[in-house]
Amino acid sequence: MDPIQNLYAPGAGTRPPELAGRDELRETVRVVLARVQHGHSAKSVLMVGLRGVGKTVLLDRMREEAEEAGLQTLFVEASEERSLPATLAPQLRQALLKLSGNAMAQDMAQRGLRAIAGFVQTLKVKFQDIEVALDFDPEPGLADNGNLEQDLTEMLLAAGAAAKKAETVLSLFVDELQYINEDELAALITALHRAAQRQAPVVLVGAGLPQLRARMGNARSYAERMFDVHEVGPLAPEAARRAIEKPARDEGVAIDDNALQRIFEMTHGYPYFLQEWDKYAWDIADTSPISLGDVERAWATAYDAQFTKRKQPYQTQMSLATLSW
């Protein structure tokens, strides 16, 4: 099949042509955000799962849907090399600048920007990697104690107050949460907890590896009760079928049932492997429908290209925990 038309998208955070099997989780997050927008309580959401199950693309889609619903969002990816303040401050500033364009929220948004200024100027000594433009002078006493937990709390409360004036929700989409070190994670949890207590419309939708659950609990013992944790895993057979079949069908290409079945058996419905497999099968097939034979040949190619070089049995690779991105 024409490789130029090949829509499958193996990778990290690369959008799949069909985001299959995640409707329920998307709906859960939609309801959480809408509840908070209406002044009701709702727990923040965490999604945990192995590499390659599709957390990043799901988070990205949820963020897009929140924006479409008129909510104020920010998206950050935590990393081992960067501190939480350095990760968060620039995006928070962007969100506040947007909110300041709303007449009802302008004053509060500017106060939020002053909070960022206080936060950054005070904590820059400790977190030297913070780099963010300051739009206003700090307000003495606002988010400038020099204590991360207190200052982060004040900054989120100020940002939440601005979001409330704009009748929106500040939705923080944070990927790779497991990289945040324990002290900073504790500060974030406390800040979100205070925001919830004060009914500030601030919600975290986070994603991370399975160890995130324990890390959150270690950082703050009440974290367990603050978040709804959802496991993101392989796709169920129907969803996997859709992820494989729909993109091809949209291009006028069919896939034989036994070929579909084989792909599912070999990938166990793991999204990354589905994409990889489908991509090879598409490239190898000469004509529609893609047959079992094409899939078998794709297997050999994929195996050669991806797996033998790592000198590990494929089944070990299938654990995904060993993937190195």
Q: Which of the choices Mg ion, ligand ADP, none does residue 208 contact, using the CB cut-off of 5 to 8 A by kind?
A: none
Is residue 11 involved in binding ligand ADP (CB under 6 A)?
yes
Give the binding-site size for ligand ADP (rule: CB under 6 A).
25
Give the binding-site size for Mg ion (rule: CB under 5 A).
1
Token pair, residue 267, equals: 């990938």
Which three-class secondary structure state does DSSP give residue 301?
A: helix
Is residue 10 involved in binding ligand ADP (CB under 6 A)?
yes
Which three-class secondary structure state does DSSP give residue 194?
A: helix
Encoded one letter per residue, x for contact with Mg ion by CB under 5 A and - for no contact, window 238-277 reads ----------------------------------------
Q: Which of the choices Mg ion, ligand ADP, none does residue 273 contact, using the CB cut-off of 5 to 8 A by kind?
A: none
In this structure, the number of other CB atoms found within 10 A of the CB of residue 284 comes to 20
Is residue 55 involved in binding ligand ADP (CB under 6 A)?
yes
Stretch that binds Mg ion, among 52-60, 100-108, 238-246, 299-307 (CB under 5 A): 52-60
Q: For Mg ion, which residue of 6, 56, 100, 110 counts as binding (CB under 5 A)? A: 56
Q: For ligand ADP, which residue of 112, 138, 201, 271 counts as binding (CB under 6 A)? A: 271
What is the Cα–Cα distance from 156 to 267, expressed in whole angstroms? 42
CA 306 to chain centre: 26
Stretch that binds ligand ADP, among 3-11, 79-87, 109-117, 218-226 (CB under 6 A): 3-11
What is the Cα–Cα distance from 265 to 319, expressed in whole angstroms? 14
- The answer to whether the beta carbons of residues 193 and 156 sit under 8 Å apart is no
Is residue 178 involved in binding Mg ion (CB under 5 A)?
no
- The answer to whether the beta carbons of residues 87 and 206 sit under 8 Å apart is no
In this structure, the number of other CB atoms found within 10 A of the CB of residue 110 comes to 19
Is residue 6 involved in binding ligand ADP (CB under 6 A)?
no
Nearest residue by C-beta to Mg ion?
Answer: 56
Is residue 14 involved in binding ligand ADP (CB under 6 A)?
yes
- Cβ nearer to ligand ADP, comparing 236 with 300: 236
CB of 325 to Mg ion, least distance (A): 8
Residue 291: left (phi > 0), alpha (psi -120 to 50), or beta? Answer: beta
What is the Cα–Cα distance from 114 to 144, expressed in whole angstroms? 10
User: Listing from the earlier edge strand, what are the strands of the sheet with 44-48?
Assistant: 72-77, 170-175, 202-208, 44-48, 227-231
Q: Which of the choices Mg ion, ligand ADP, none does residue 275 contact, using the CB cut-off of 5 to 8 A by kind?
A: ligand ADP
Stretch that binds ligand ADP, among 12-20, 193-201, 218-226, 309-317 (CB under 6 A): 12-20
Is residue 209 involved in binding ligand ADP (CB under 6 A)?
no
CB of 173 to ligand ADP, least distance (A): 12
For 147-267, where are the E strands, in sequence order?
170-175, 202-208, 227-231
Stretch that binds ligand ADP, among 11-19, 87-95, 125-133, 156-164 (CB under 6 A): 11-19
* Closest alpha carbon to 274 in 313, 245, 252, 314: 245
Is residue 170 involved in binding ligand ADP (CB under 6 A)?
no
- The answer to whether the beta carbons of residues 81 and 179 sit under 8 Å apart is no
Q: Running DSSP on this structure, what letter comes out for residue 284?
A: H
Q: Running DSSP on this structure, what letter comes out for residue 210?
A: T
**Where does this chain bind Mg ion (CB under 5 A)?**
56
**Where does this chain bind ligand ADP (CB under 6 A)?**
9-16, 19-22, 49, 51-57, 243, 271-272, 274-275
